[in-house]
Amino acid sequence: MKAYVDEIDSPAGPLAFAVNEDGALMRLHFVESDYGPVMEEELQGEGYALEADEARTAGVRTELSEYVNGRRKTFDAPLALVGSEWQKTVWMELTRIPFGETRSYGEIADALGRPGAARAVGRANASNVLPVVVPCHRVIAADGTLGGFNGGLHLKERLLQHEHNVLAAAGS
């Protein structure tokens, strides 16, 4: 199995990402993350051989660049989601949170027809390996505080501020 790796600058610092042989995004990692091993170590631990191939990563690179430059608010790249059915359901719900908006863990649970499952939503959020594209940074605590974030709250703050700035510049 091969994974094709690349990196792009973002408002949250450098983002490393990997696509599979079909071009589907399989990992996105904050290089300045506070937590966990680096993406490359995780992929190698799962048996992937890593290669750089700009042609294979071009589609995701373009979409991430457009997001960084304020020209993209949703992503169209294919996703290689690996997780339980619940996790995948939560992750897909996260993609429905509009750019620049937030939802609470409880609101996500309610939207999925599982009132009271806010903690389960939080656990699914914590296992999201495609942040930004599956925008877990847009999920906050019910009291309006940021809650947690795998990369560290400083990165969540940067992403939310970026989206706020893009909307403010557009007059939204």
Q: Report the 10 Å Cβ neighbour count for 171.
A: 5
DSSP letters spanning 102-121: -EEHHHHHHHTT-TT-HHHH
Which phi-psi region, left, alpha or beta, contains residue 6 (left: φ > 0; alpha: ψ -120 to 50)?
beta
Single out the residue of 56, 67, 76 nearest to residue 12, CA to CA: 67
**Contact status, residue 147 vs residue 122, Cβ threshold 8 Å:** yes
SS3 for 4?
A: strand
150 among known catalytic residues: no
Q: Could you give the residue ranges of the DSSP H alpha helices within the chain?
A: 39-45, 54-68, 85-94, 105-111, 118-126, 153-170
From 15, 136, 140, 155, active-site residue: 136
Q: How far apart are CA 93 and CA 105, in angstroms?
A: 11
Catalytic center residues: 136
